[in-house]
Amino acid sequence: MHPDPLVIADHITAWMREYCVSQERSGFVVGISGGVDSAVASTLAARTGLPLLALSLPIHQAVAEVQRAHAHLAWLRQRHPQVQAQELVLDDHFDQLTSHFASFGHTGDPALALVNTKSRLRLATLYYFATLEERLVIGTGNKVEQRGVGFFAKYGDGGMDLSPLADLLKTEVYALGHALGIEQSILDAPPTDGLWPDGRTDLDQIGATYPELEWATDLREHGVYTSVMDLSPRQREVLRIYDRRHADSRHKIGEAPKCSLPRGCAWPPDEAAPAG
């Protein structure tokens, strides 16, 4: 039996409020993309009653995505008067920054580096306001993205102070969205990170749907099968996609490795110790 989505929403909302108070911060900052993850995360934050700054930060964004972000910001403000909603268009800032990169020679394809730079520019903006007003930056990634296939930019949309959706599958985020009354246009939109100029969706980038990736996540975490021959051709393909992306993202999913000094090695040397 699946739990009531509103019970889950109440639990996450209470956890967010308690954590913010325990850290002695004044509220939250969150980026609004026009997608379901940021819509749900921001709504949960607004339900805490604490101050929330919700920012739409388009960078050469598709018009439909910007419109959905605007609609959600208006929806939030109507229901939660403590929410500040604002749009900061970062097109020119991104163009000025990346124009300097062109002067450096490179041999690789800069496309992925550029879209990740968009994500990192947005994070820098969120943290500017978070620092200014002593608030916490809310992450909007779900379990499959954050711990499964690593579908986020390191120190971009993967940067945050708290992660309210980290234990939710994408389908569970949609269930919360329906229960919370998120705009239907957001719930109906194909999932996308909104970073690519050609408007490619998450399915275009990953090669598998979120329900398929959730199946692979569950199989790798809990499932048992005797052979790949127990799986259908499509299941084997989805598992290959999951395993490859999970392996490629290990440096993003875990903490940065730390170098430990050998036992007995101290720095700076003890100048009082006798020589020899």
pTM above 0.85, yes or no: yes
Number of domains in the chain: 1
Give a yes or no: residue 257 inside a domain: no
Per-residue model confidence (pLDDT) at position 32: 98
The CATH number linked to 93 is: 3.40.50.620
Task: Give a yes or no: residue 276 inside a domain.
Answer: no
Residue 30 lies inside a defined structural domain of this protein: yes
pLDDT of residue 275: 55
- pLDDT value, residue 272: 52
Q: Left if phi > 0, otherwise alpha if psi is -120 to 50, otherwise beta: which for 155?
A: left
Nearest to 17 by CA among 38, 41, 44, 42: 44
pLDDT of residue 264: 82
Which residues in the chain come in under a pLDDT of 70? 1-2, 224-226, 266-276
CA distances from 170 to 119, 175, 199, 231, 265 (A): 20, 9, 20, 23, 47
pLDDT of the residue at 270: 56
Nearest to residue 194, comparing CAs of 99, 96, 122? 122
Query: What integer pLDDT is reported at residue 10 of this predicted model?
Result: 98
140: in domain: yes
User: How many Cβ atoms sit within 10 Å of the Cβ of residue 235?
Assistant: 16
Q: Which domain holds residue 110?
A: 5-196
**Predicted local confidence at residue 104, as pLDDT:** 80
| Within a domain: 63 | yes
Strand, coil or helix: 83: strand
The reply to whether 237 falls in a domain is no
How much is the pLDDT for 178? 98
Is residue 227 situated within a structural domain?
A: no
**SS3 label, residue 11:** helix
Position 209 scores a pLDDT of 97
Q: Specify if 125 maps to a domain.
A: yes
